[in-house]
Copies of this chain bind each other. A is one copy, B any other.
Amino acid sequence: MSAQESDPVKLGWMVGSPPPAEKIIRFSDPDYFSFPKLRWTVCHFRQLMPTVGVSRGLGAPVPMERRIDDSIDQVIFTPLGGGRMSWAQSLAVNYTDGIVILHDGVIVYERYFGCLDDIGQHAAMSVTKSLIGLLGEMLVAEGTLDESAKVASIVPELAASAFGDATVRQVLEMTTGLRYSEDYADPDADVWRYGAAGNPLPKPDGYTGPRSYFEYLQTVVKEGEHGTAFGYKTINTDALGWMIARVTGKSVADLLSQRIWSRMGGEQDGYFTVDSIGTPYAGGGFNAGLRDMARIGQLMLDGGMVNGERLVPEAAIARIRAGGDKAAFEKAGYALLKGWSYRGMWWLSHNEHGVFMARGVHGQAIYVDPAARMVIARFASNPVASNAANDPTSLPAYDAVARHLMK
């Protein structure tokens, strides 16, 4: 089904009082997050699951200036793999739900599709990791978190797990050696056992596994050595979230609100899904409005400053933008990301524009192009749970728009 055919508004999920039985989506349905239902679910996680708020505070939002440039729709690019496509065409090809482009902090383009509008909220999925990584690097820059410390020295409960003898920095760069498979196509992958542990519903009869994110993390065993190869594993972010909570005494939801979300002049509260003991899902549970995600990109571009106020130490952003170990990253074998690295849970391209990104599994992105002074925030619900399905029609499209804006 194309983006148009699978449009959740057109399909009428959860419309009516009550909705027709075949249009109801429940969290307990095995397919609530399968295509095409997932295209509704990405905008409505809070209607399915318990959540914790990330307050924007009580003050007035700081509106972003707008100078819309409709000619962006006609920007032409060459998808990875070849061909020719316009920016406007790409949006449906990769199932975009919303996209906003900032140039020098000014909104030059903004579109919504599917379940999303500018007052709505959307699952950020793994873009969440970059927010948690930013908090982690902030605490490192401030001296609250020692990047050379062993995880076990901060969270003793993890001492016997694979995390125990990893350093904070190895967690931040995901160079830990962990036995953990995140292949969504494999029904036996660890990611599903992790999901069962974090599921906030009462456990089924006979369930004997871990009962929360924290319990799961304690069961992770080592595979290989720490510090040698990049391995993109969500559980690193939840281990980081645990360390952040331990050293600050605040959950990542509260810390994100207090340090960033309530101070950036944003428009909407965000929220995290939580497990059965109220722990926010640091690895992928954040949901927010699109323009507020763009504000995060602008904060990164501006070295931690927002509206003339410093929210994040410049050193924390500089550490991320300096990039991680490219040799370690290369070992992970990302065919479409040659020469990239990963640092502070952000993806660094090391290309001539110094592009870096936050990336979510269904095409969510914060894309920062420092040379072009451009930020793109995108929400999407690509049926394929892999950025390999989004990159061919998004990375070169973003680059083409950057060059268009630099003219």
Q: Cβ of A58: which chain B residues have Cβ within 8 Å of it? A: 61, 118-119, 267-268
User: B-facing mask of A237-269, CB < 8 A → 1, else 0?
Assistant: 000001001100001000000000000000111
> Given the interface contacts A267-B58, A268-B58, A277-B24, does A17 sit within 8 Å of B119 by beta carbon?
no
Once the chains bind, are A19 and B61 in contact (CB under 8 Å)?
Answer: no
A245 to B271, CA, bound (A): 27
Q: Nearest 9 pairs between A and B by C-beta?
A: A60-B60, A17-B245, A28-B202, A58-B267, A18-B214, A24-B277, A47-B52, A18-B277, A14-B278
User: B-facing mask of A193-219, CB < 8 A → 1, else 0?
Assistant: 000000001100000000010100000
Copies in the complex: 2
Q: Cβ of A57: which chain B residues have Cβ within 8 Å of it? A: 119
Query: Closest approach, in angstroms, between the C-beta of A22 and any C-beta of chain B?
Result: 12
Once the chains bind, are A46 and B55 in contact (CB under 8 Å)?
Answer: no
Q: Taking the complex as formed, is A26 at the interface, i.e. its CB lies under 8 A from any CB of chain B?
A: yes
Once the chains bind, are B51 and A251 in contact (CB under 8 Å)?
Answer: no
Query: Closest approach, in angstroms, between the C-beta of A32 and any C-beta of chain B?
Result: 12
Q: Cβ of A245: which chain B residues have Cβ within 8 Å of it? A: 17
Once the chains bind, are B267 and A17 in contact (CB under 8 Å)?
Answer: no
Query: Closest approach, in angstroms, between the C-beta of A173 and any C-beta of chain B?
Result: 23
Q: Cβ of A51: which chain B residues have Cβ within 8 Å of it? A: 46-47, 51
Q: Cβ of A55: which chain B residues have Cβ within 8 Å of it? A: 119, 268
Question: A residues engaging B (CB < 8 A)?
Answer: 14, 17-19, 24, 26-28, 46-53, 55, 57-61, 118-119, 121, 201-202, 212, 214, 242, 245-246, 251, 267-269, 271, 274, 276-279
Majority-rule SS of A interface residues = loop
Once the chains bind, are A26 and B277 in contact (CB under 8 Å)?
Answer: yes
Query: Closest approach, in angstroms, between the C-beta of A328 and any C-beta of chain B?
Result: 29
Once the chains bind, are B202 and A17 in contact (CB under 8 Å)?
Answer: no
Q: Cβ of A121: which chain B residues have Cβ within 8 Å of it? A: 53
A279 to B14, CA, bound (A): 10
Q: Cβ of A17: which chain B residues have Cβ within 8 Å of it? A: 214, 242, 245-246, 251, 279
Most buried by B among A51, A61, A212: A51
